[in-house]
Structure formats: structure tokens, C-alpha cells
Structure 1
Amino acid sequence: MLAQKSINFTAVNDWLFDQALPFWAEAGVDRVNGGFVEHLTLKAENAHAPFKRVRAQARQIYCFSQAALLGWSDGAAVADHGWDFLQRHGRREDGAWVRRLAPDGSQLDTTCDAYDMAFVLFAHAWRHKVTKDPAVEASALATLDALDRTLAHPSGLGWLAEEGDAGPRQQNPHMHLIEAAIELAETTGNERFQAFGRTIAALFGERILNRETGVLREFFAPDWSALDTPAGRIVEPGHQLEWAWILERAAPILEIDMSREADLLHAHAEKHGIAPVTGLTYDQVDVDGKVILGDHRSWPQTEALKANLAMLEGRGLDTRDRIAVCVDNLLERYLAPAPTGTWIDQLDSKLKPRVDKIPSTTLYHVQLAFTELLRLQPAIQSMDADAA
């Protein structure tokens, strides 16, 4: 019998708490204008980007809020700094949130975008987890109102990707909206957030996911039917794996059972979306499982880790070897070669870096995956001990 591949929990913990969080709390914070830096150069220096995406501000608020809850001493102050900047600059007069800010906080792109709205809601959830401030819950509810007023699709089936959107329907904003709904429902106990999440889950199960095959397309026709174009055939294994984790996370909070859908998503992505030699997740395959884009962004690797953790915890599958491969790939291929506390965001099909910057938004992906791994460390180590 082959030996169980070990998981390097110590390296994960050290990278997150001793390297990444201290680094981004310093180099990633704009102490002049407020908020967070959009991206760094490949030497991990401020690239002085001419904009700050609202989604990037919101993701960093999550990162440092969670760090505070996990006992990292500077987390609360850094999260406060980001929250203040977002509150002062990010909202429109009608209650919706903008897409891009200038470095000083003035509004560059006032478009209401569902993806950005999702992360604003996510930031509200983590702000509430730290503060338990009723005003944060009220602000999240007002944001939900603005989402419905501004982006609700005329069909009643989900939301537009952005104001005036006439293009294909997109699953990705809905994935992050339910992610935010789960966290808001958990921290506030407000039934409206639970109902919001259930609505998205139902849409996903009934319209978005192919429940026979496990195929999750990225783009759809207006009624969520298959889009007969090359774009309509795109499948991103990272999103399949991300949804699998989200559905398992949703089960106790939204009081739904979508374990069959999670199983389908995980199985399809593991069968068609994973490079056989390296265990890396591909960026894109088509609906038949053929590789379209054989590059490997960093975030699909974090979603593979999260999904396999969810399958172990929620579905009882022994995915420890896959978890170990995902951890090793992240540590060795994406984190170790980069400046301390940062990452290489994308590898090409020959495993060479395809990058020109270090985006701040990647911390959300890596931190969420690594904190999930560390949360399950006792259970995994108990399994290891029982098998010894």
C-alpha cells in the first residue's frame, strides 16, 4: 500500500500568519489616500495603479477581518482602515456601489456591477462578524435593495452582470452573491439573507448546472439555456470546484441539501479539469471535457483545495492525497518562487510564469483555502493517526 502523502500544515500556517498578512498589512495598505493597493510589481513594490477596484477593497476587508477573528493582532486596525475608505468613497447616492475608484477615492467608474456588489456584501458580512454592529447589517440590507433595483433581470431569474448588460447571462456573479449571502445569514441571523441565498441556490440547481453531467457553463442565453457559441461551451473547473465548496458550506446555514450537485461538480472537475501529471487545475475546458486553456491560474488551485476539503468533511470522501497535492502545488509553484508573502498568479501550460504584476485580490483566494485547511487540521491529523 502506498504511504499517505503528508500535508504541510506548518508551512501553510507560517506563510499566512508570518509572511503574507504582515507583508500586505504594510505594502498593501495605502497610508496616503486610504484603502488598499490594487497590485504590486513583480518585485513586490507598489505599482501605483491608476485605479482601485471596489472588489479589491472588499476582499482585503475580508482578509484582515478574518485575521482579526483568528487572533492576528493587527487585523482589526487594517480592516478598519479599509472599511472606512470603502464607506467614504464606494457608494452611489442611490445606494448601489461603484466599480472603480481613483487612488484618492474619487469615483472613476460608477457602473453597478453584480460581481463587485457581491464582494461588497461579503465585506459587510465579515465586518459584522468582527463588530456585530447593527448599522453594518442595515447597510447590507440596503445594498441588497440596491442590487434588486439596479440589476434584477426582467425575467426574475437572477441578476444582470452589470447595468445595461445585453450580453450573455453569467453564472460567476451569482456564485459570489450566494457566497456573501451565506456569510451574512450566518453572522446576522437575518432571514432575508437566508432567503436570498436559497433563491440563488434554486436558480443554480434548476437552471445553471447540468444536473445530469455536472457541466457548469460560464455563459448562457437570457433564459439560462445553453448558448450556441464558443463562449457558451466554456467550462472553468475552478468554478465547478468553488461551487462544490459553497454548496457544502451553504447546507447548514441556508438549510438546503445540494450534496448531489456538489458531488457532480467535484467529480466532473476532478475528471476533466485536472492535469494528470502535476495535479494542477486547468483554467478552461469545454463542455465535452477537452482542454481549451491549459494555463493554471492560482485561484483554481485554491478552489481545488477547498472542494477536496469539503468532500472530506461533508461527504466523507478520503481526499487527503488530493489535498496534499493542492497544498504542495500552491506552496512550491505559486508562493515559494515569489517575493515573501506574495504569489505568482498564473503559470502557462509549460509551468512558466505568465504574469506582469502581483494582484492584491489573490490573497482572498489563498487565505480562504488555507484557513479552511487549518480549521480541518485536527480532523485530518486524527484520520492520519487512525490509519497509522
Structure 2
Amino acid sequence: MAEAHNVAADEAADVVARLKRRMIDHALPLWSTVGWDGSAGGFIERLHQDGSPDRAAPRRVRVQARQIYCYAKAAQLGWYPEGREIALKGLEYLLAKAKAPDGRPGYVHQLTPEGGVLDPLRDTYDHAFVLLALATVHGLDHDAQIRAEIDALLAFLDTQLRSPHGGFQEGLPPSMPRRQNPQMHLFEAMIACFDATHDQSFQNRAGEFFALFLANLFDKQTRVLGEYFEEDWSRILPVSVEAGHQAEWVWLLKGFERITGCPTGRQRGELLASALRYRDEATGCLVDEGDAEGNIRRHSRRLWPQTEIAKAWIAQAEAGESGAADEARAALVRMERHYLSHPVAGGWYDQFDRDGKSLVATIPASSFYHVLCAVAEAEQVLG
């Protein structure tokens, strides 16, 4: 086991309840008021250090989609009933501004604060999050129009972005290197689409990404997930390893097992063991990057890998692994202690250097998806 013993038992015992209250009382209200542009529409990309909105920041479409997911998920869980209306308002903005505004299919990459097109790139990673947002909103009301948007997005992916080598291109226009990251989030979106629709075609689609993971993304010899690849999915050397993604796949593989019955325990165990090699000695938090041999390349540590290691342990707890629930709570305590204890209630620190100095002055909206998902999983599995 990892480092659950470094966290006080009383601090860990009620961490899930504390984090849930933090979401309901602070984060969800903050990002739907200060974090929403009441004049131009859309979610604010980031807040300044004092909690005021950075209205001049460009709007990434992936962040719009992530915020929609957060509010739809909070409504689905019964945490925040007004989340449904906020999610629908966000989706209306996304469809009006980002979907084919230049007459070409797909969603653009970036918008100006006023809602114009800043970057017309069709980015696959963005589309994965739009699909996740649509699936989560669809799960609320099973609206036929939302399902039609899901099907239209899938058609765009299938006709415009599929690669003959498996998986999907980075975007339109295509670029290199290929990354596992967009494939991982499409895998996540397909699982969410199945949960929202119970359409078995999404089991099959998720299975394509599982097959890609087994054949190309995961190295069975080194037991690490690679990040960067050539066009044919051959690894680019030296292999870059992000511990947060190792952990994120643990949780996703458990989700795939849940919807298909396909066993993933061996791969989950190997990924988790690999992820735990890349930790900051002082805090026990995951660092940003290592190599295939287990050495640390970048000692900085972002918030999102901490949410993912918590979710990995939660997945293992759900699978019945002894001690996993304690490890999950310990990971949540570290996340709370180091990242969420911010002077702005409902805000967070995004990244620290190896000495514990904050490297990002703003409070990025993009992290909300990671935090809320981790807390939601914790409540459902750990109670």
C-alpha cells in the first residue's frame, strides 16, 4: 500500500463529507455566478487570484464543455438542483457559438470573450469533452434533441477524424505527435454515453479504445502508459509518463469493466503500481512527469493528477481491494490540504513546484471537472 498511514485517521474519516460540502456550498455557486459571463454568455475561463473573473481570457471550448458536465453531474446527484438550468444555459451557448460557426462541421477550438471564433481548429480532445457534456445532460432528461447532437458529433468523428491506424487523429487539420490523451477522453465519453442511453453501440465504441489501449498505448513490458506516438502508434522515445494519466486509466478501466463485464483487474493493478512511483517525497502527491524507468523528469505537481490518483484508489475500493478505501481517503486529504485550501472559497491552487511554491497565479475553471468528478466518485463508493 502507499501512504495512507501519513494521514491522520480523524482527518480522513470525514473527508468525503467535507469535500461534498465544499462543492455544494462554495465551488458550484462560485463558478455559476462569478464564473459565468452575464453579458456575453458562457463560462469564464479563469479567475484572478482574488477570485474576480478574468473577462479578457479567451474561451476554450473544452472548458465550456467541462463546466456543463459539472453542473449536469451536480444536478444528477441531487447536490445542486439549479445545476440543470445552468448546464442547459451553458449548452445553449456552446451550440450557438462553437458548433460550426464558420459553416464547417464540428466545434471550433477557441472563442473570444465576446463569443466570436478565435481558433477554428477542430480538436479531437475538445470533441471528447463536448460528447461527455452532451451525454451527462442527456442523462438528466433523455431529451431527443440532445441525443441528436450526440449522433451528429459521432458522425463527425467517424467521417472526419478516424485514423486508418486506429483511434482518431489529433484534429482537423491533423497534427503530430499523436497522443493517448484524446483517445482516453473519448473512451471516457463513450462510457458516459452508454450510461446515459443504455445503447449497446457505445459498449462497442468503448471496446475499440480498450483494444487500442491493449495493443498500442500500454506497454506490457514496462507496464506504463505512453503519452506520445507516431502516426502508426509506435512509441516516441524516450517515453514520457504522466502519473496522472496512469491513474486516470485505472478508473476508466473499472468503468469499462462495469458496463461490459470485461475483466480489467490486472491492467488496473499494473497502472496503479506504476503511477505510485512518481510521487513527491515531501507531500506524497503525484508529480507531473517521469520516464519509463520510474525516474522523475518534472517535479512540479498539478492539481488534476491528485484527483485521478484518488479516483484510481476509489475504483480499486469498488473492486474490493483491501486497503484501497483508506488510500482513497488519504489521497483526498492530500488534495484538500495542498490544493483546495485556497483563500477564495470554491477555488484552488493549480500547480506547485518541488518546493511548494504556487506556479499558477490564476484559478483555472478547467480543474473543476477533475475535482467534482473525484468527489462524486468518492461519495458514491466510499459514502
- Following the alignment from structure 2 to structure 1, what is the Cα–Cα distance between the partners of residues 56 and 263? 43
State the shift of 1:4 in Å: 7.7
State the shift of 1:191 in Å: 2.5
Cα offsets for 1:314-367 (capped at 9, x unmatched): 152312332232122211111113411000001111111111211111000000
State the shift of 1:153 in Å: 1.5
- Following the alignment from structure 2 to structure 1, what is the Cα–Cα distance between the partners of residues 39 and 242? 38
State the shift of 1:166 in Å: 3.7
Q: Quick check: 1:55 aligned with 2:65?
A: no
- Following the alignment from structure 1 to structure 2, what is the Cα–Cα distance between the partners of residues 46 and 279? 32
Identify the match of residue 179 of structure 1 among 177, 188, 201: 188
State the shift of 1:35 in Å: 1.4
- Following the alignment from structure 1 to structure 2, what is the Cα–Cα distance between the partners of residues 31 and 210? 48
Q: Quick check: 1:159 aligned with 2:168?
A: yes
- Following the alignment from structure 1 to structure 2, what is the Cα–Cα distance between the partners of residues 205 and 168? 19
Give the structure 2 partner of residue 242 of structure 1. 248
Equivalent pair of 2:122/2:173 in contact (CA under 8 Å): no
- Following the alignment from structure 1 to structure 2, what is the Cα–Cα distance between the partners of residues 277 and 102? 41
Cα offsets for 1:5-38 (capped at 9, x unmatched): 3332232121111111111111111111111111
- Following the alignment from structure 2 to structure 1, what is the Cα–Cα distance between the partners of residues 343 and 367? 13
Identify the match of residue 261 of structure 1 among 264, 267, 289: 267
Q: Quick check: 1:10 aligned with 2:27?
A: no
Identify the match of residue 145 of structure 1 among 140, 155, 167: 155
Q: Quick check: 1:307 aligned with 2:309?
A: no
State the shift of 1:284 in Å: 0.3
Q: Quick check: 1:317 aligned with 2:326?
A: no
State the shift of 1:296 in Å: 0.8
1:348 partner letter: D
Give the structure 2 partner of residue 36 of structure 1. 43
1:147 partner letter: L
1:49 partner letter: A
Identify the match of residue 53 of structure 2 among 42, 46, 49: 46
Give the structure 1 partner of residue 138 of structure 2. 128
Of the structure 1 ranges 3-12 and 354-363, higher mean CA displacement relative to structure 2 is found in 3-12
Normalised by the length of structure 2, the TM-score is 0.93
Identify the match of residue 115 of structure 2 among 93, 100, 105: 105
1:263 partner letter: G
What is the DSSP-based 3-state SS (H/G/I as helix, E as strand, rest coil) of the residue aligned with 1:376? helix
- Following the alignment from structure 1 to structure 2, what is the Cα–Cα distance between the partners of residues 192 and 136? 17
Q: CA RMSD in A?
A: 1.6
Normalised by the length of structure 1, the TM-score is 0.92
- Following the alignment from structure 1 to structure 2, what is the Cα–Cα distance between the partners of residues 366 and 222? 33
State the shift of 1:43 in Å: 0.9
Equivalent pair of 2:121/2:173 in contact (CA under 8 Å): no
Give the structure 1 partner of residue 98 of structure 2. 90
Q: Quick check: 1:298 aligned with 2:303?
A: yes
Equivalent pair of 1:348/1:354 in contact (CA under 8 Å): yes
Q: Quick check: 1:210 aligned with 2:219?
A: yes
Give the structure 2 partner of residue 225 of structure 1. 234
Cα offsets for 1:359-387 (capped at 9, x unmatched): 11100000000111111233xxxxxxxxx
Identify the match of residue 70 of structure 1 among 77, 88, 92: 77
Change in 2 beyond 3 A, CA 1:185/1:320: closer
Alignment of 1:185-204 (within 5 A): 185-204=194-213
Give the structure 2 partner of residue 384 of structure 1. none
Identify the match of residue 334 of structure 1 among 339, 348, 352: 339
Equivalent pair of 2:309/2:331 in contact (CA under 8 Å): yes
What is the DSSP-based 3-state SS (H/G/I as helix, E as strand, rest coil) of the residue aligned with 2:122? coil
- Following the alignment from structure 2 to structure 1, what is the Cα–Cα distance between the partners of residues 175 and 32? 39
Give the structure 2 partner of residue 170 of structure 1. 179
What is the DSSP-based 3-state SS (H/G/I as helix, E as strand, rest coil) of the residue aligned with 1:13? helix
1:282 partner letter: V
Equivalent pair of 1:39/1:46 in contact (CA under 8 Å): yes
Equivalent pair of 1:4/1:321 in contact (CA under 8 Å): no
- Following the alignment from structure 2 to structure 1, what is the Cα–Cα distance between the partners of residues 17 and 153? 39
1:30 partner letter: D
- Following the alignment from structure 1 to structure 2, what is the Cα–Cα distance between the partners of residues 10 and 186? 25
Change in 2 beyond 3 A, CA 1:50/1:277: closer
Alignment of 1:273-292 (within 5 A): 273-292=278-297
**Deviation >4 Å, runs of 4+:** none
Cα offsets for 1:279-334 (capped at 9, x unmatched): 10010001111100011100000001000111111152312332232122211111
Aligned length: 372
What is the DSSP-based 3-state SS (H/G/I as helix, E as strand, rest coil) of the residue aligned with 1:285? strand
Equivalent pair of 1:209/1:215 in contact (CA under 8 Å): yes
Higher RCO (C-alpha under 8 Å, 6+ residues apart): 2
Equivalent pair of 1:112/1:150 in contact (CA under 8 Å): no
Equivalent pair of 1:198/1:256 in contact (CA under 8 Å): no
Cα offsets for 1:220-256 (capped at 9, x unmatched): 122212213xxx4210000000001000011121442
Give the structure 1 partner of residue 371 of structure 2. 366
- Following the alignment from structure 2 to structure 1, what is the Cα–Cα distance between the partners of residues 367 and 56? 16
